[in-house]
Structure 1
Amino acid sequence: ESIIRQAAQFGWDFSEAMGRGDLLIVDALMRNTRDEWSLARLTVDELIALVIRAKKQFGYSHARLIIDSMSAFWLDKPAMARKYSYQVKRTLSKWNFTIMVTSQYAITTSDAFGFGIEHVADGIIRFRRFIRGGRLRRFLLIEKMRQTAHDLRMWEIEIVSNEGLRLIRPVEARREDVSLPPSVIKKIINIHSEKEKEL
C-alpha cells in the first residue's frame, strides 16, 4: 500500500495497472498475513522462485523487474553480494526481463554495499546528495551503461510532485567530487583484497 501511495504522488496509478494484470508488487517484508505474492524468508532463492512463478502465471512476454533493494539480501553477510548478484542475473536473464535493482553504497568509499553488484550490472546510475549553502541538493550520474553512449556529467536533480525526477543542470566537476584522500584509498584497496580472499 505504501508503494501505491508513493506512486500516486507522481501521477502513476499502480492500482489500475495491478487490476489489468500489468503490475505485480511482491511483499518482501515477511508480514504475518501472507498472501501468494510475499516472501516467507528473505533469501535470494525464494525471491527467484517467486519471480519465476509470477512469470509463468502472467505470461512469457518481455517484462520489467525491479528489486528494491538487493542490499537487504546480504545485510548480515556482505561477502556474498557478488555471488547473489550473479545468481539473480544468471537465472532471471533467461526469462525475458529487463532487470533494475537498487543497492546501497558506502558513503566513505562510494562502493556498492557488499562489493559485487556493480560488476554484474550492465548499467549503473548513481544518486548522490550533499548539503551546500545549508540546502540539501540531489545529484545523478550515469556511471556505466554498456553498449550505450551516455552523458558523462553529473546532473543536479529535483523530485517534483505529479511529475517525478527533473534534471536541473549539469555540475562542473571538482577534484573533491571524485577523489579520496590517499589514506582512504589505501584502506579501500586492503578491504577489497580481504574480500577477494573470502570469495
Structure 2
Amino acid sequence: EGFLVAVTGEPGCGKTIFSIHFINQGIIDGDRCIYITTEESRESIVKQASQFGMDFGKAMEDGKLIIVDALMGREDRWSLKSLDMEALVEKIIEAKKELGYGRARIAIDSLSAFWLDRPAMARRYSYYLKKVLSKWSFTILAVSQYAITTAESFGWGIEHIADGIIRFRRALRGGELKRFVIIEKMRQTNHSRYLHEVDIRPGIGLVVLGRIERRVEDYKLPPDVIRRILEAKRKAEEIL
C-alpha cells in the first residue's frame, strides 16, 4: 500500500491482464480505482475484463472505477488528448476527487508511453509522478514495456524509482509459448525470489501454475566464456 510498483515485460506476457486483476481486487476491497489506458480504448479494457468475469462497466456506473482513455483522443471528461505527464497527474487527481475519500489504487498501462519519444526523461517523469501522487497515498501499478536491447524497462530510470519490480517473461518450450513472472524487488516485503510459470485462462485470467525449479538458462555459460572457448577451438583447429 502506498508503493509505486513497476510491471515490466515484453508484449504478450500478461501485463495488461495483471493490471486488470489489480484493479478488480481494488474494486472488491472497496478501494477507489483508476485505470489509465494508453494502448487500448476504454471499451477494449472493459471488454477484456468481462472475458475474465470482471464487470468494469458496473464498477464505473457505481462510481468505484474511472478509466482514463489516453489512446483515442476524445473530448469526454475522462480522456487525455496527449501523452503529457503533467496532464496525466492532473487527470488522476481530478479522478480521485470525483471518486471521493478513501484508499485508492491506480494502474497505468503503460507509463512508458509517456516518454516514447524521449526515453532519457524516464527517470525524471517517474520521479515526478511518484513525488506528486505519494501525497495522495496512491498505490500505483505502472506498466513499462521491455527493451530487448538492454533487458530493462523502456527508458532508463523507472526501475530505480519504483518501490517494487514485477517482471514478466515469455519463452518457447517445445514449440509452445510459456509465460513466467518473478518479483525482482519489493521494499519492506519478504517475497519469493523464484521464477513462477503463469497461464492466461478463459473466464479466469492470470493463474500462477507453480515455481520453476530450474531452466537451461540457469546453467548456460556466460557469453564471454563461450566466446573464449570458441576462439580457443578455432586456434586449435588452425594449428592442426
When normalised by structure 1's length, the TM-score is 0.86
Residue matched to 1:66: 107
Residue matched to 2:88: 47
Identify which of 50, 68, 89 aligns with 1:26. 68
Cα deviation for residue 54 of structure 1 reads: 1.4
Residue matched to 1:131: 172
Equivalence map 1:1-199=2 (5 Å): 1-31=43-73, 33-174=74-215, 176-177=217-218, 181-182=223-224
1:52, 1:109 → 2: CA distance? 33
SS at match of 1:26: strand
- Match for 1:141: what amino acid? I
In structure 1, runs of 5+ residues without a counterpart are 184-199
Cα deviation for residue 115 of structure 1 reads: 1.2
Summarize the Cα distance change of 1:175–1:115 in structure 2 as closer, same or farther, 3 Å threshold: farther
SS at match of 2:46: helix
Structure with the larger strand share: 2
Q: 1:139-192 CA distances to partner (integer Å, 9 max, x unpaired)?
A: 010111111111111011101111121111211244735986349xxxxxxxxx
Residue matched to 1:191: none
SS at match of 1:25: strand
When normalised by structure 2's length, the TM-score is 0.72
Larger radius of gyration between Structure 1 and Structure 2 = 2
C-alpha root-mean-square deviation of aligned residues, in Å?
A: 1.8
- Match for 2:156: what amino acid? F
Contact 1:66 1:100 (8 Å CA) reproduced: yes
Cα deviation for residue 102 of structure 1 reads: 0.3
1:106, 1:171 → 2: CA distance? 24
1:164, 1:29 → 2: CA distance? 24
Q: Sequence identity of aligned pairs in percent?
A: 57
Contact 1:159 1:166 (8 Å CA) reproduced: yes
Higher relative contact order (CA 8 A, sep 6+): 2
Summarize the Cα distance change of 1:30–1:133 in structure 2 as closer, same or farther, 3 Å threshold: same
Q: 1:79-99 CA distances to partner (integer Å, 9 max, x unpaired)?
A: 000000000000011112111
2:211, 2:140 → 1: CA distance? 27
- Match for 2:63: what amino acid? G
- Match for 2:51: what amino acid? Q
1:134, 1:164 → 2: CA distance? 22
| Stretches (4+) displaced over 2 A | 172-183
